[in-house]
Copies of this chain bind each other. A is one copy, B any other.
Amino acid sequence: MIEMIFAEFDKMLGNLSGLLDKAEALAAQKKFDVGNLLAARLAPDQFHFIRQVQIACDTVKFGASRLAGKDAPRFEDNESTMPDLRRRITMTRDFLASVKAADFTGWESRKTLNPRREGKYLPGDEYLMQHVIPNFYFHVTTAYSILRHNGVEIGKADYLGAINYRDL
């Protein structure tokens, strides 16, 4: 089942790229600098849009890395434009694609470490449930909300992406 969770993360990262397109479209239509959206935030002491995308990517990257026991590529957090953010998303999805189902074997009990919590660990299952999943969706949703709050024409379908309903 963990493969399905990461497959969904991958799909959501694609949806996030789609949100960038909609943001650019609004900036072009209204003739404002798209950087205004990149620097936007919902509260003065909350991260801006660029940082939300960076953290969404990192949550997936470190999640896969720690649960699969595979080194993650290092990203410099130097994105400042829409093409930069697209590249960050693509690099994250490329890393995800490099992690194979077999790499996750034993993930539930793998001790996951976090540099912010020295000398501590979380078992893989708790790390996935209590950290990776809620944080990933938090940052994707916050990125979405920053755009929505600023007039970008997006809705729930842009967030969720296509869902393959079957005929009964």
- Chain B residues contacting A135 (CB-CB under 8 Å) are 156, 160
At the interface, yes or no: A115 with Cβ under 8 Å from chain B? no
Q: Which residue of B lies closest to A161 (CB)?
A: B130
CA distance A6 to B96 in the complex (A): 25
- Chain B residues contacting A50 (CB-CB under 8 Å) are none
At the interface, yes or no: A121 with Cβ under 8 Å from chain B? yes
Q: Is the interface of A mostly helix, strand, loop or mixed?
A: helix
Q: Within the complex, which residue of B43, B120, B156 is in contact with A166, where a contact is CB–CB below 8 Å?
A: B120
Contact between A130 and B160 (Cβ–Cβ < 8 Å)?
Answer: yes
CA distance A142 to B121 in the complex (A): 30
CA distance A142 to B113 in the complex (A): 29
A133 in contact with B165 given A125-B1, A138-B141, A159-B138 (CB within 8 Å): no
Residues facing B in A141-156 (CB within 8 A) are: 141-142, 144-145, 148-149, 151, 156
At the interface, yes or no: A163 with Cβ under 8 Å from chain B? yes
Chain A interface residues toward B at CB < 8 A:
1-2, 4-5, 7-8, 11-12, 42-43, 46, 108, 111, 113, 117, 119-123, 125-126, 129-131, 133-135, 137-138, 141-142, 144-145, 148-149, 151, 156, 159-161, 163-168
